[in-house]
Structure 1
Protein backbone atom coordinates (compact mmCIF):
# COMPACT_ATOMS: atom_id res chain seq x y z
CA UNK A 1 0.00 0.00 0.00
CA UNK A 2 1.39 3.40 -0.98
CA UNK A 3 1.74 5.98 1.76
CA UNK A 4 -0.10 9.28 1.46
CA UNK A 5 1.86 12.53 1.52
CA UNK A 6 1.95 14.14 4.99
CA UNK A 7 -0.33 16.98 3.86
CA UNK A 8 -3.77 16.56 2.30
CA UNK A 9 -5.81 19.45 0.92
CA UNK A 10 -9.42 18.35 0.50
CA UNK A 11 -11.91 19.43 -2.19
CA UNK A 12 -13.52 22.86 -1.88
CA UNK A 13 -16.47 22.84 0.52
CA UNK A 14 -19.94 24.11 -0.37
CA UNK A 15 -19.40 27.06 1.99
CA UNK A 16 -15.92 27.88 0.66
CA UNK A 17 -12.41 26.90 1.59
CA UNK A 18 -10.51 23.63 1.61
CA UNK A 19 -9.77 21.58 4.72
CA UNK A 20 -6.06 20.97 5.29
CA UNK A 21 -4.67 18.07 7.30
CA UNK A 22 -1.12 17.29 8.39
CA UNK A 23 -0.42 13.67 9.34
CA UNK A 24 -4.17 13.09 9.66
CA UNK A 25 -4.84 16.07 11.94
CA UNK A 26 -6.94 19.02 10.75
CA UNK A 27 -4.83 22.18 10.87
CA UNK A 28 -7.29 24.59 9.28
CA UNK A 29 -9.48 25.74 6.44
CA UNK A 30 -7.71 27.52 3.59
CA UNK A 31 -9.28 29.87 1.06
CA UNK A 32 -6.19 30.25 -1.13
CA UNK A 33 -2.56 29.27 -1.66
CA UNK A 34 -1.29 31.79 0.87
CA UNK A 35 -3.42 30.31 3.62
CA UNK A 36 -2.23 26.78 2.81
CA UNK A 37 1.37 28.01 2.99
CA UNK A 38 0.71 29.77 6.32
CA UNK A 39 -0.84 26.63 7.81
CA UNK A 40 2.15 24.56 6.69
CA UNK A 41 4.65 27.09 8.07
CA UNK A 42 2.80 26.96 11.40
CA UNK A 43 2.99 23.15 11.27
CA UNK A 44 6.77 23.29 10.83
CA UNK A 45 7.14 22.70 7.09
CA UNK A 46 9.38 25.77 6.68
CA UNK A 47 12.30 26.77 8.89
CA UNK A 48 11.06 30.32 9.40
CA UNK A 49 8.04 32.59 8.93
CA UNK A 50 9.45 34.12 5.74
CA UNK A 51 10.49 30.81 4.16
CA UNK A 52 8.77 29.56 1.02
CA UNK A 53 6.65 26.41 1.25
CA UNK A 54 6.64 24.61 -2.10
CA UNK A 55 2.97 23.83 -2.62
CA UNK A 56 3.66 21.83 -5.78
CA UNK A 57 6.48 19.69 -4.35
CA UNK A 58 5.83 16.01 -5.15
CA UNK A 59 5.38 13.87 -2.07
CA UNK A 60 4.47 16.77 0.24
CA UNK A 61 0.84 17.57 -0.60
CA UNK A 62 -2.00 15.53 -2.02
CA UNK A 63 -4.51 17.88 -3.67
CA UNK A 64 -7.93 16.21 -3.70
CA UNK A 65 -10.79 17.52 -5.81
CA UNK A 66 -8.59 19.87 -7.81
CA UNK A 67 -5.10 21.30 -7.89
CA UNK A 68 -3.57 24.28 -6.11
CA UNK A 69 -5.54 26.65 -8.35
CA UNK A 70 -8.97 25.12 -7.54
CA UNK A 71 -10.81 27.01 -4.81
CA UNK A 72 -14.48 26.84 -5.81
Structure 2
Protein backbone atom coordinates (compact mmCIF):
# COMPACT_ATOMS: atom_id res chain seq x y z
CA UNK A 1 0.00 0.00 0.00
CA UNK A 2 1.19 3.49 -0.77
CA UNK A 3 1.44 5.41 2.43
CA UNK A 4 -1.48 7.73 2.98
CA UNK A 5 -1.22 11.08 4.69
CA UNK A 6 -3.65 11.18 7.58
CA UNK A 7 -5.24 14.41 8.80
CA UNK A 8 -6.87 14.54 12.23
CA UNK A 9 -9.08 17.62 12.20
CA UNK A 10 -9.78 19.96 15.15
CA UNK A 11 -12.19 18.81 17.83
CA UNK A 12 -15.82 19.33 16.87
CA UNK A 13 -18.21 21.07 19.30
CA UNK A 14 -20.20 17.84 19.44
CA UNK A 15 -17.06 15.88 20.40
CA UNK A 16 -14.63 13.81 18.41
CA UNK A 17 -12.26 14.66 15.60
CA UNK A 18 -12.76 13.78 11.94
CA UNK A 19 -9.98 11.62 10.50
CA UNK A 20 -9.28 11.78 6.77
CA UNK A 21 -6.79 9.86 4.62
CA UNK A 22 -5.29 11.55 1.57
CA UNK A 23 -4.19 8.94 -0.97
CA UNK A 24 -3.27 9.62 -4.60
CA UNK A 25 -4.84 13.08 -4.44
CA UNK A 26 -8.16 11.80 -3.11
CA UNK A 27 -9.69 12.21 0.34
CA UNK A 28 -11.32 9.37 2.20
CA UNK A 29 -13.09 9.98 5.51
CA UNK A 30 -12.03 7.24 7.90
CA UNK A 31 -14.41 8.28 10.66
CA UNK A 32 -14.69 10.36 13.80
CA UNK A 33 -12.17 9.59 16.52
CA UNK A 34 -12.84 10.22 20.20
CA UNK A 35 -9.40 9.07 21.36
CA UNK A 36 -5.99 7.93 20.14
CA UNK A 37 -7.31 4.37 20.30
CA UNK A 38 -9.84 5.27 17.59
CA UNK A 39 -7.11 6.80 15.41
CA UNK A 40 -5.03 3.63 15.85
CA UNK A 41 -7.99 1.51 14.74
CA UNK A 42 -8.50 3.66 11.62
CA UNK A 43 -4.80 3.27 10.80
CA UNK A 44 -5.06 -0.52 11.21
CA UNK A 45 -8.04 -0.59 8.84
CA UNK A 46 -6.07 1.11 6.06
CA UNK A 47 -3.12 -1.23 6.45
CA UNK A 48 -0.65 0.61 8.68
CA UNK A 49 1.42 -2.21 10.18
CA UNK A 50 2.16 -0.76 13.61
CA UNK A 51 -0.28 2.09 14.25
CA UNK A 52 0.60 2.38 17.93
CA UNK A 53 4.24 2.96 17.02
CA UNK A 54 3.25 5.52 14.38
CA UNK A 55 1.19 7.40 16.97
CA UNK A 56 3.90 7.22 19.65
CA UNK A 57 6.73 8.28 17.37
CA UNK A 58 5.20 11.48 16.03
CA UNK A 59 5.45 10.07 12.51
CA UNK A 60 4.89 12.74 9.83
CA UNK A 61 2.27 10.40 8.35
CA UNK A 62 -0.22 12.15 10.66
CA UNK A 63 -1.05 15.84 10.63
CA UNK A 64 -2.82 17.10 13.75
CA UNK A 65 -4.89 20.19 12.94
CA UNK A 66 -6.24 22.65 15.47
CA UNK A 67 -5.18 20.58 18.47
CA UNK A 68 -2.45 18.14 19.44
CA UNK A 69 -2.55 14.36 19.63
CA UNK A 70 -3.48 14.49 23.31
CA UNK A 71 -6.39 16.93 22.93
CA UNK A 72 -9.68 15.05 23.12
CA UNK A 73 -12.20 17.39 24.76
CA UNK A 74 -15.60 16.00 25.68
CA UNK A 75 -18.62 17.18 23.69
CA UNK A 76 -20.13 20.48 24.76
CA UNK A 77 -23.11 20.04 26.99
CA UNK A 78 -26.26 21.75 25.95
Matched residue count: 65
5+ long unaligned stretches in structure 2: 74-78
Alignment of 1:31-46 (within 5 A): 31-46=34-49
**Aligned residue number for residue 70 of structure 1:** 71
| Preserved CA contact (<8 Å) 1:40 1:53 | no
* Structure richer in strand, relative to its length: 2
Q: In the TM superposition, what whole-angstrom CA distance separates every residue of 1:21-59 from its partner, at most 9, and x where no partner exists?
A: 111210110000000000111011126xxx634114332
Give how far 1:66 is off.
0.8
* Structure richer in helix, relative to its length: 2
Alignment of 1:1-72 (within 5 A): 6-23=5-22, 24-46=27-49, 52-55=52-55, 56-72=57-73
Report the aligned-residue RMSD.
Answer: 1.8
Runs of 4+ aligned residues of structure 1 deviating over 4 Å after TM superposition are none
